Chains A and B, each alone.
Chain A
Amino acid sequence: MSTDGHEHADGPRGPADGGLEIEGRGELCGAQRFSHEAMATVFEVHAVHPDERYAAQAAQAAFDLVDRLEGELSRFRPNSDIARVNCLTAGGSTRVGPSAMECLVIARHMFDLTGGAFDVAIGTGLPSLELDPDDCFVRATTDWVRIDLGGIGKGYAVDLMAELLEEWGIEKALVHGGFSSVLALEAPAGLDGWPLTLSDPGSPSRVFAHLSVRQMALGASGLRKGDHIVDPRTGEPARGRRAAWVAIPRPDTARLEARSEGRPRVAAAAVADALTTAFMLMSLEEIEALCAQTPGLQAWALPEPEHDRQEQATLLHIGGSGPGYTSTSW
């Protein structure tokens, strides 16, 4: 498939729009694949387990969880927590559920970390929202904050789905939401990691890199030609990059044995989701600064070719090579 200058975004994002995929579409790994539509994309669970029926039931439990989250987090559901937050006027407050609160807390942290490039309020004043995580209350101090968790919600759902699969004893699995948010748990037997490819969203046959990943969260963002995204720091449409990818190792504290009720959730896929969105806008220096202070964090960026020429864009790789990373020349 070649990119022609006349493609325009005209529908919901399809899978692999960010240029991230399982090599061979997972069939080579002997995994079962389960799919479910939610959050305007297709979620999938790829699981390796001797009992197919049990795996199907586990996947369904994970999909029921995604549906519940969508009901709480989507600004398009009139009675979701976020829709209710978006109705607040100055001085108003509302209680939200733990998932919405957790997403808002992570989102606020990522806002600070990325200098506002990741902003779920898209420039309408995220810092003016007061978050009270202990009581699960959100308080508005202005009239016009509008939250859209689109840049972090899928990643958060993927984190929770992975936790659920681990509870069910399904450890060899990969979960993703539209391939824009991916979490690899343990790899299928005989493999060091789940085989993923990074490719040009405009021409998927052009593979930039082969990754072999386990216990890793990845994010992928891509823009179709002609699309713009709003830079929350300026409020203006920005050209952005063609694509950005992020990989974060999943910390040990996220795994089932280490999890405990008292400890806050380590949501690697949510963080990766947020960073990918931010990295579409942040300068290379800013991305390098963040990678430098965060060992293990890797990023790839594909710039938009200058002046719409059909030249091949050069993939940039930032951050240390993580385990299991091999590149092809580009």
Chain B
Amino acid sequence: MAGENEKGKETPKAGAAGPRKLGRREVLTGLSTVPALGLFGYAWNRQRQYQQAKAEAAAAPAEAPKDLQVINVALLGAGAQGQVLTDAMLRIPGLRFRAVCDIWAEYNQKRVVNSLAKFKHEVRGYENYREMLDKEKDLDAVVIATPDFWHAQHAIDCLKAGKHVYCEKEMSNTLEGARSMVAAARETGKLLQIGHQRRSNPRYLHCYEKLLREAKLLGRIVTVSGQWNRALAPDLGAPARYAIPDARLTQYGFKDMHQFRNWRWFKGKGGGPIVDLGSHQIDIYSWFLGANPTGVMASGGLLYLDPATHEWYDTVMAVYDFETPMGKVKASYQTQTHNGSQGYFENFMGDQGTLLLSESEVYGARLYRDPNAPAWDTWVQKGYVSAPKIQEMKEKTEGVTDVRESVSPDEHKVSIVLRDPYHQPHLQNFFNAVRGKAKLNCPPEVAYESAVAVLKVNEAIEAGSRLSFKPEDFRI
């Protein structure tokens, strides 16, 4: 497609010290003198470019300032999420990878070991995490991205081995598991961050701290809605040549390759989409409302997918009750995996305004002021929200104004852009805490409250009635 300069970006003016346009003669000369590099010459041309770049560059900025303490890291769980976390970590200065542990030695473990080697991290691969903890002498932290039913065991053993731990959400597939993780963190005094990465997302932090707590832009929040709708996709499979032998699958708690790849759908392993997807957003509900729920009712079922290969609900609708300092709130949440309409977002609705937000950088955050609310000029001037984009006025029909039609509220945006991979800020927060330079944004006690709220939904579906929470339920 034809390229075009983005609006607002300056294009180099003629005569300015800018890129010189090649004349036609130079083009032809260039072509005739280009050695026969061949179409794939970039492969060995690479070395030449690199040397040139190094030679010509001024002293290149060091990858990490000399006084930045290097942290030795191991990855436990090299599946899809482990790879996402590794991608993000490779962009964080001051980390040295030492080991990768995954039971899928033939495929995922090897893949991540090789990709780390490309970045000059000499890592050892392990199938058994205890062996890794025994053998790795220079290890400060472990990042855990194994299936939910393994989280408690893995996190506890790593903490007891003296390592700081970043563990993916959901904290655990059981409350007992989650409780034992909190206990282990307290006993060992090591850091435990749970991977609710929106807690470190700059836009979410801005919305919570500046827009809700400071400016109180929405007034009194009364209702919240949220969803994660995901389009239909086949079950996860695996390349036949890399199938894991049955004995190894059994040893680590899997019935077969299908269950190994699709553990999220099985009882005793994961909690289905409400836990996989909902745990992120239900965590935001509690965070932004400043309260834990007092009750939940939910309806769900396996409406679409094959019960022979799925145990959890593919469709869930839940309604939470909250009591906040400002008053009562009802918050609904929906998830399903056969249609991706509107994707994922959270919607906070108050008597003075609405906040619609999504982790998606493409969507961002949008705010709408109720026309009767006080003006937001101060906050616009402070840069907390953008100036409003004026929506179209509805045209009046001949002399009659229909009083039922309200004017569309103007749209404000939040101009905080994340330029890094989604999980990077939360991992950075963890590693900064390891260095003693920050506090964890999602320590185990906070994540535990979230786990209580989220794991209750499957229970409520089973019970077919509203379940209550007591305040003590959230405390350990």
- Interface, chain A (partner B; CB < 8 A): 13, 40, 53-54, 56-58, 60-61, 76-79, 83-84, 87, 93-95, 97-98, 105-106, 108-109, 112-113, 115-117, 121-125, 127-128, 130-137, 139, 142, 144-146, 148, 150-151, 167-169, 227-230, 232-235, 248, 251, 261, 263-268, 271, 275, 285-286, 289-290, 293-294, 297
Contacts and interface: CB of A to CB of B under 8 A. Distances in A.
Contacts of A137: 60
Interface residues of B, number: 69
Contacts of B239: 58, 167-169
16 contacts: A61-B236, A76-B362, A78-B362, A78-B417, A94-B91, A97-B90, A105-B49, A109-B37, A117-B27, A124-B5, A144-B18, A148-B3, A150-B1, A167-B242, A289-B31, A297-B39
Contacts of B242: 167
A142 B18 contact: yes
A80 to B, nearest CB: 9
Residue in A40, A61, A144 whose Cβ sees the most chain B Cβ within 10 Å: A144
B32 A58 contact: no
A96 B330 CA distance: 43
Contact of B21 (A94, A235, A264, A293): A235
Interface in B1-55: 1-6, 9-12, 18-19, 21-22, 24, 26-28, 30-32, 34, 36-46, 49-50, 53-54
A127 B4 CA distance: 19
A228 B4 CA distance: 11
Contacts of A136: 90, 118-119
A233 B419 contact: no
Contact of A167 (B37, B234, B241): B241
Q: Which 10 A-B pairs have the closest CB atoms?
A: A57-B237, A125-B19, A109-B42, A264-B43, A115-B27, A122-B3, A78-B361, A130-B53, A229-B2, A168-B239
B31 A115 contact: yes
A275 B46 CA distance: 19
A128 to B, nearest CB: 6
A106 B21 contact: no
Contacts of A106: 42
Main secondary structure of the interface of B (DSSP, over half): loop
A23 to B, nearest CB: 26
Contact of A54 (B36, B50, B90, B237): B237
B12 A286 contact: no
Contacts of B5: 122, 124, 146
B27 A233 contact: yes
Nearest to B23: A233
B417 A286 contact: no
Contacts of A146: 5-6, 9
Contact of A128 (B19, B41, B44, B46): B19
A134 B50 contact: yes
A106 B241 CA distance: 31
Contact of A266 (B2, B43, B235): B43
Nearest to B38: A294
Contact of A139 (B24, B60, B233): B60
A251 B42 contact: no
Contacts of B31: 115, 286, 289-290
Nearest to B32: A289
Interface in B319-339: none
Given A95-B91, A105-B42, A230 B240 contact: no
Given A233-B27, A297-B39, A144 B9 contact: yes
B419 A83 contact: yes
Contacts of A135: 63, 119-120
Contacts of A228: 2
Nearest to A267: B40
Contacts of B2: 227-230
B422 A79 contact: yes
A113 B39 contact: yes
B420 interface: yes
A261 B234 CA distance: 30
B57 interface: yes
Output the residue of A60, A113, A265 with the most chain B CB within 10 A. Answer: A113
Contacts of A139: 53, 57, 60
B52 to A, nearest CB: 9
Contacts of B24: 233
B114 A261 contact: yes
Given A57-B234, A286-B28, A105 B40 contact: no
A123 B37 contact: no
B421 interface: yes
Contact of A79 (B11, B119, B419): B419
Contacts of A108: 42, 49
B87 interface: yes
B27 A116 contact: yes
A283 to B, nearest CB: 9
Contacts of A148: 3
B117 interface: yes
Interface in B384-422: 417-422
A248 to B, nearest CB: 6
Given A13-B1, A134-B50, 8 more contacts: A40-B1, A79-B361, A108-B49, A113-B37, A144-B18, A146-B5, A150-B1, A266-B43
Most central of A58, A94, A123, A265 by chain B CB within 10 Å: A123
B32 A56 contact: no
Nearest to B61: A93
B32 A61 contact: no
A84 B57 CA distance: 20
Nearest to B115: A98
Contacts of A123: 19, 21
Contacts of A98: 115, 118
Contact of B240 (A97, A168, A268): A168
B90 A60 contact: no
Contacts of A122: 3, 5
A251 B240 contact: no
B30, B118, B235, B418: residue with the most chain A Cβ atoms closer than 10 Å:
B118
Contacts of A109: 37, 41-42, 45
B301 to A, nearest CB: 24
Contacts of B30: 112, 115-116
Contact of B27 (A54, A150, A248, A286): A286
